[in-house]
Structure 1
Amino acid sequence: MTAPNLFLVYVRDVERSTAFYRELLGIEPVFTSPRYVAFEAAPGMLFALWSGRPEAAVPGTPRTSEVGLMVTGGPAEVDAIHAAWAAKGVEVLEPPHDEVFGRTFVIADPDGNLVRVSPVD
Structure 2
Amino acid sequence: MSSSIVFIVYVNDAPEAARFYADLLEIKPGFQTPGYIAFDLGEGVDLALWSGQLDGLTPAVPRTSEVCLALPGGPEAIDGQFARWVEKGVRVVSEPRDEVFGRTFVVADPDGNLIRVAPVD
Distance 1:4 1:63 in 2: 25
Query: Which position in structure 1 is the counterpart of 2:101?
Result: 101
> Which ranges of 4 or more aligned residues in structure 1 deviate by more than 6 Å?
none
1:42: Cα distance to partner?
Answer: 1.1
Task: Indicate the residue corresponding to 2:62 in structure 1.
Answer: 62
Contact 2:69 2:117 in 1 (8 A): yes
* Paired position in structure 2 for 1:76: 76
Distance 2:42 2:24 in 1: 17
Instruction: Note the alpha carbon deviations across 1:22-78, whole angstroms, 9 max, x for none.
Output: 0000001000000000000111211100003033x6115431110100000000000
Q: Which amino acid aligns with 1:92?
A: V
Structure 2 residue ranges without an equivalent (≥5): none
> Is the partner of 1:49 in helix, strand or coil?
strand
AA of the residue aligned to 1:52: G
Partner of 1:22: 22
2:118 is the alignment partner of 1:118: yes
Q: 2:72·2:119 contact (CA, 8 Å) conserved in 1?
A: yes
The Cα RMSD (Å) is 1.4
- Does the 8 A contact of 1:30 with 1:39 survive in 2? yes
Q: Are 1:45 and 2:45 matched, yes or no? A: yes
> Partners of 2:108 and 2:61 in 1: how far apart?
14
Percent pairwise identity: 52
Decide whether the 8 Å contact of 2:4 with 2:44 is kept in 1. Answer: no
- The equivalent residue for 1:12 is 12
**Corresponding pairs, count:** 120
Residue type at the aligned position of 1:30: G
**Closer/same/farther in 2, CA of residues 114 and 37 from structure 1, 3 Å limit:** same
Q: CA deviation at 1:2?
A: 3.6
Aligned-residue offset at 1:4: 5.7
